[in-house]
A and B are shown apart, each in its own frame.
Chain A
Amino acid sequence: MNDATILSVRDVEVAFPAGGLLSRQAILGVAGVSLGISRGETFALVGESGSGKTTLARAINGLQTISAGEITFEGQRIDTLGKSAMKPLRQRMSMMFQDPVGSLSPRMTVGDLVTEPFRIHGAQGRNLKAETKRLLSLVGLPPDFAGRFPHQLSGGQARRVGVARAIALEPALIIADEPTAGLDVSVQGEVLNLLNDLRERLGLAMLIITHNLHVVHHVADRVAVMYLGRFVETGTTEDVFDAPAHPYTAALLSANPEPDPDRAHDRIALPAEVPSLLRRPSGCEFHTRCPWVQDRCRTEAPAPADIGGRRVACHFPLAPGARPPAHRKEPA
C-alpha cells in the first residue's frame, strides 16, 4: 500500500446464513478478496450476476457486515465501526445504486434530491440554492430542472441527478453499481464521459461494478474479475483485455456480442451451469466449466499468484491467444 491508496480491502469475507433459523450452514457471498484503490483511479469489478460484486460494494460502504478480513479507508479501519461512527465517513465515500429512477424518491424534487446529502450530514450554513445550481451545472443539467420530479426525467437525466447526489459532499471515493445498466448506448456514453470528467476535475477514486465489458474497457484503469465470490484475475485493464490469463476471463471476453453480423466468432463456449454457493466445487472452483481443466484442478485450489504484473488464481494460466483444447470445444 502506498500513500495514494485511499481504500484497501484485505481478505474480506461475507457470510450469509443459509438453510433456516436453526441451521449453522452459511454461504460465502464474498470469499476472501483483496484490493486497493488509489486517488484518481477507476477500478472495475466484473463478473456474472451472483458473483458477489454488489455484496462486496455494500461491505465496503458498511451496509453489510463482514465475517473476516479488514477494510481500511483513508487510513482508518472501517469494518469495525458502528453505524454512527460510519455516518461521517459516508460523506467521503458515496454510493450510486442500480436503477437510476428507482433510487430517487418520487416525491422529492430534483433540487431537494441533490441537496439531501447536505441535510442528512448537517452541513449547515450552506446556501442550498447555490449548491443546487452548482451541482446541476457540474452534471450538465439546466438550473430549471431543480423543480422537476423524478418521473419527469429520462433515464439519462435521472442518472445525472444520481451522480450529482453522489458528488454533493465532495467524496474521495464513489462506488457506482451498474451506472449504465438500462441506459441507451448514446446516453451510456454521456454518463461515462461525465464520470470520467468528474474523476479528473475532482480527483475522485471510483469503484465501478458492471457486467458490461465494453464499459470497463473505456473507463477503468484496473479490473478484477469475480467468480463465486473470489477474484480469479486482477490487473490493469490493458493487460487483462489484451491477454486474459484466467480461462474464465478469456471466456467472458470472447462471449461479448459485437455489433457486426459478419464477425467471425471465435468463442470459448462454457457450460451454462453456474455452481451453487451452497455446494462449492472442490479444487479450483471454476473447474466444472473450464475447457482447459486438468486433474490437478479438480482437487487442489490454486493460490493467487503474480504473473506478469497481475494476480491470477489458476494452476495453468493461459498464454496469450490460447484456444481451448479441440476435443472440449463444444461442451455438452
Chain B
Amino acid sequence: MSVLAIETLNVTFSTEAGPLHALKDVSFTVPERRIVGIVGESGCGKSTLINAILGLLADNGRVTGGRILFEDGNDLVGLDPTAMRALRGLRISTVFQDPMGALNPVISVGRQMVNIQYRSGLSKSAKLARATEMLELVRIPDARAALRRYPHQFSGGMKQRIAIAMALMMEPALLIADEPTTALDATLEVATIELLKDLQRKIGCSVLFISHHLGVIAELCDEVVVMYAGEVVERGDVRQIFHQPKHPYTMRLLECDPARQTERTRNLPTIPGEIPDLRARPRGCVFAPRCTLAEAICAAPQVERDIGRGHRVRCVKAVSPAEAEA
C-alpha cells in the first residue's frame, strides 16, 4: 500500500516566452511508513512537485497530465479547494527550511499549538495536554513552561523542532519536509534527522524528504528519487542509489559531494554546463548535453526501465547487474 502514488505527472507554466515544461512524466510512490528522499539541484523541479501535491501551484502553473493518488486512490489533481483544504494540515503536513514561516512571532507557542487543533473537537485542556505532549516528544525541555514562550525565545534548532511538533500533531499520513535541516549546523542537523526518524516510527506516517544534502538523504531515507531538469532520472532504495548509481547524472552528483573526497583536494569535481532551457526541452535524454558518456542513441527519447529489484533508471546505457555479467 502506498500513501502517495505519483503517475506520469506533467506540470507546465505559461510564461511570456512560451510554455515551460517544469515536470515531465514524473512517477514514483511513497509507501506506507517509509521515508522517501528527493535529491536534485536547484531548478530540478522539487518545489514544483511539492506545490503540485499540495494544490498550491502558482496561477500560471497547471497540471497538464498524470495523477497524484493519495491514501485510498484519491486523485489530488483537480480536487476542489475545499476538499484539498481538509487534507492539508490534517492528512498531509509540511515542514520547511525556515521554521519562522510556520510560527507566528506575536502569538505564544502554546496558543499556536492549541489553535491548530481547531478541527480535533477536543476540549481546551485536552488540546493543551496534547501540545505539551508533542513538545516533550520533540525534546523541548520544560515543555509546560515552553508553551508560554514566544518563538523568538527559542534557538534555531528548537524552533525547527517546534515546527516539526506542530506538523505532526494531527498525526498526518504524509509529512512533506522541504530542506528542514539546511539552516542548522552539523550537530543540530544530526539531532533533527534522528528526531524525525524516531517520530516517523512512533506516529507511523510516511515522509517525503527533500534535500540537496546527500549525506542527510543517505542517513535518513529508505528510498531515493533523483530528479534532473523536471524528470525523475533514477529511483530505487537508498543502497541502490548510493552504492550502485546507474544514471550518469546520479554518478556525477555523488562524485561532486566534497564529503566523498577523502583525500584533501584543492580541485573539486564539478558538472560542467547548465540545466537546459525547460521551454525547449531536448527531444532525447535531458542530461545528454552535459553527459560525458552520451552517444548518438541518447538523442532519442528515453524511457524509464526497471533494471532489477525496483531500481529504475531513465538512461538507455544503464545496465542491470545481470546484463553486466553477460
Task: Give me the interface of A with B, judged by CB distance under 8 Å.
Answer: 47-50, 154-155, 182, 184-190, 192-193, 196, 211-215, 217-219, 237-238, 251-252, 255-263, 265, 267, 270, 272-274
Which of A185, A213, A273 has the most B CB atoms < 10 Å from its CB? A185
Contact B259 A259 (CB under 8 A): yes
A196 to B264 CA separation, bound complex (whole angstroms): 13
A323 to B191 CA separation, bound complex (whole angstroms): 19
Contact of A213 among B155, B186, B252, B266 (CB under 8 A): B186
Contact B42 A256 (CB under 8 A): no
Contacts of B239 in A (CB 8 A): 261-262
B182 at the interface (CB under 8 A from A): yes
Contact A218 B268 (CB under 8 A): yes
Contacts of B193 in A (CB 8 A): 257
Contacts of A255 in B (CB 8 A): 186-187, 189-190
Which of B20-28, B202-210, B269-277 touches A? Answer: B269-277
Contacts of A155 in B (CB 8 A): 42
Contact B216 A218 (CB under 8 A): no
5 additional A-B pairs beyond A187-B41, A187-B270, A257-B186, beta carbons within 8 Å, are A252-B187, A258-B215, A262-B239, A273-B141, A274-B157
Contact of A270 among B156, B187, B261, B269 (CB under 8 A): B187
Contact A259 B215 (CB under 8 A): yes
Pairs of residues from A and B, 9 with the lowest C-beta to C-beta distance, nearest first: A257-B215, A189-B268, A184-B41, A48-B185, A214-B258, A259-B214, A186-B271, A211-B185, A255-B186
Contacts of B269 in A (CB 8 A): 186, 189
A185 to B216 CA separation, bound complex (whole angstroms): 13
A263 to B215 CA separation, bound complex (whole angstroms): 10
Subset of 13 A-B contacts with CB under 8 Å: A155-B42, A182-B182, A185-B41, A186-B41, A189-B256, A196-B266, A214-B261, A218-B265, A237-B264, A252-B185, A257-B190, A257-B259, A258-B219
Tell me the dominant secondary structure on chain B's binding face. helix
Which of B156, B253, B268, B274 has the most A CB atoms < 10 Å from its CB? B268
Contacts of A262 in B (CB 8 A): 239, 243
Contact A184 B42 (CB under 8 A): yes
Interface residues of B in 144-198 (CB under 8 A from A): 155-158, 182-191, 193
Q: Contacts A257-B218, A272-B188: A218 and B261 contacting too (C-beta < 8 A)? A: yes
